[in-house]
């Protein structure tokens, strides 16, 4: 028997494609969501809809999920996150400085601490838009990447921030230490990224991937590595790590994408040297431009000091 789910479309999904909205709300792949729409299993306000139609906030969305495709429950567990600091907090947003070893939100493949659970443990109430385990999350950082993340507290902030991220109106700045010296010293990597066949958690540059654009500039060159500033136009999973590896200059301490483990050991690194140092955007409440910065964590600063001495 099919599992019929009915929800009101949250403000954060206003204008979202049907297949994308169904995927986010019910934890199925976007391809599966498109198939459900094609088979007439997605109904909005009593009318079956195509995958490319747009959702309206407040509409009644009804989806019939085959029993075998019911999404498993992912619970948000309120647990303190040591080392996670609050950079900014107001009625609309909370900006956190995420340490390594912490996910953005809970998932089936992660049992460690996460930002959503950490905020819940600290008493923060965040937006209810998005999938239950991702409520308030408008962008993510890898577990092994530290730095700044913004989480929506109000429903309007969620909708506005998602729109800004989609239209590339958010200034995201990262610093990374890569092996060798990129040539040219200032450049752009415009190469599509997709999931690598046969490797569930690894991505690669491939013609069938999603458009991905990374701008970089060498800030300082050392004998064995270079410190880069990165600005992203897109936000694909592992984007910086994949693009740096494609340049043959992988992030130091990132063996998944070809970094030399011997250099990582000399630098005392047990994760990729990658930090989200800056985040700027138009505040969804006031409309004013706001910018936040994060200093390097101790392990990254220590590695930087060591590489400078080699």
pLDDT tops 70 at residue 72: no
Q: Is the peptide bond before 184 cis (omega within 30 degrees of 0)?
A: yes
Read off the pLDDT band of 243 (50, 70, 90). Answer: very high
Selected from 3.40.50.720, 3.40.47.10, 3.40.50.2300, 3.30.2350.10, the CATH number assigned to the domain covering 85-160 reads: 3.30.2350.10
CATH superfamily, domain 171-309, is Pseudouridine synthase (3.30.2350.10)
Model pLDDT for residues 113-154, shown as the tens digit of each residue: 999 999 999 999 888 776 767 788 998 999 999 999 999 998
Residue with tokens 């505040």: 283
Domain 3-66 -> CATH class = alpha beta
What pLDDT is stored for residue 7 in this prediction?
A: 76
Phi, psi of 308 (to 5 degrees): -70, -20
Average pLDDT, the chain: 90
What pLDDT is stored for residue 50 in this prediction?
A: 93
Read off the pLDDT band of 73 (50, 70, 90). Answer: low
Which residues are registered as beta bridge partners of 232? 214
Phi, psi of 141 (to 5 degrees): -120, 150
What pLDDT is stored for residue 230 in this prediction?
A: 98
CA dihedral angle for residue 253, residue 257, residue 261, residue 263, rounded to 10 degrees: -60
Look up 142 and say whether it is catalytic.
Answer: yes
What pLDDT is stored for residue 13 in this prediction?
A: 77
Average pLDDT score over residue span 82-104: 96
Query: DSSP character for 254?
Result: -
Which of these is catalytic: 11, 97, 142, 254? 142
Residues carrying CATH 3.10.290.10, the chain: 3-66
Residues 6+ apart with CB under 8 A from 302: 268
160-189 in b/e form (b: 16+ CB < 10 A) is: bbbbbbeeeebebbbbbbbbeebeeeeeeb
CB 3 within 8 A of CB 65: yes
Read off the pLDDT band of 2 (50, 70, 90). Answer: low
CA of residue 188 relative to chain centroid, distance: 21
Helix (H, G, I), strand (E, B) or coil at 32: helix
Model pLDDT for residues 19-44, shown as the tens digit of each residue: 888 887 776 778 888 999 999 999 99
Radius of gyration of the chain (CA): 20
Kindly provide the residue ranges of all beta strands, DSSP E only, lying in the chain, ordered along the sequence. 3-8, 42-44, 47-48, 60-65, 85-89, 93-98, 146-152, 171-179, 186-190, 193-195, 203-205, 213-221, 225-232, 274-282, 289-293
What pLDDT is stored for residue 57 in this prediction?
A: 83
CB 10 within 8 A of CB 129: yes
Average pLDDT score over residue span 168-191: 97
What pLDDT is stored for residue 179 in this prediction?
A: 98
What pLDDT is stored for residue 90 in this prediction?
A: 96
**∠ CA 23-27-33 to the nearest 5 degrees?**
35
Residues carrying CATH 3.30.2350.10, the chain: 85-160, 171-309
Of the given ranges (104-108, 139-143, 163-167, 199-203), which has the lowest mean pLDDT?
A: 199-203
Strands 225-232 and 60-65, sheet pairing: unpaired
pLDDT tops 60 at residue 70: no
CA of residue 26 relative to chain centroid, distance: 19
What pLDDT is stored for residue 11 in this prediction?
A: 72
Q: How many CA atoms lie within 13 A of 268 on its CB side?
A: 10
What pLDDT is stored for residue 1 in this prediction?
A: 56
Query: Regarding predicted confidence, which is higher, 72 or 49?
Result: 49
């Amino acid at each position: 028997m099919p599992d019929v789910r009915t929800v009101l479309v949250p403000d954060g999904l206003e204008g979202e494609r049907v297949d994308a909205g169904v995927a986010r709300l019910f934890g199925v792949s976007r391809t599966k969501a498109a198939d459900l729409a094609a088979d007439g299993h997605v109904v909005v306000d009593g009318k079956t809809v195509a995958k490319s139609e747009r959702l309206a906030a407040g509409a009644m969305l009804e989806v019939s999920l085959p029993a075998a495709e019911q999404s498993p429950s992912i619970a948000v567990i309120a647990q303190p996150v040591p080392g996670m600091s609050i950079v900014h907090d107001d009625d609309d947003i909370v900006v956190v400085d995420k340490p390594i070893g912490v996910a953005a939100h809970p998932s089936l493949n992660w049992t460690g601490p996460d930002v959503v659970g950490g905020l819940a443990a600290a008493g923060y109430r965040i937006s209810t838009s998005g999938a239950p385990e991702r409520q308030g999350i408008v962008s993510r950082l890898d577990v092994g990447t530290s730095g700044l993340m913004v989480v929506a507290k109000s429903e309007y902030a969620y909708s506005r921030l998602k729109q800004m991220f989609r239209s590339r109106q958010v200034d995201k700045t990262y610093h990374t230490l890569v092996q060798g010296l990129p040539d040219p010293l200032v450049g752009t990597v415009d190469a599509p990224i997709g999931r690598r066949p046969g490797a569930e958690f690894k991505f690669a540059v491939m013609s069938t991937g999603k458009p991905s654009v990374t701008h970089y500039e060498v800030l300082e060159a050392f004998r064995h590595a270079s410190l880069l500033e990165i600005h992203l136009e897109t936000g694909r999973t592992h984007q910086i790590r994949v693009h740096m590896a494609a340049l043959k200059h992988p992030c130091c301490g990132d063996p998944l994408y070809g970094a030399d483990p011997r250099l990582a050991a000399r630098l005392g690194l047990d994760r990729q040297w990658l930090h989200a140092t800056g985040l700027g955007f138009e505040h969804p409440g006031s409309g004013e431009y706001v910018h936040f910065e994060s200093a390097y964590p101790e392990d990254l600063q220590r590695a930087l000091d060591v590489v400078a001495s080699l």
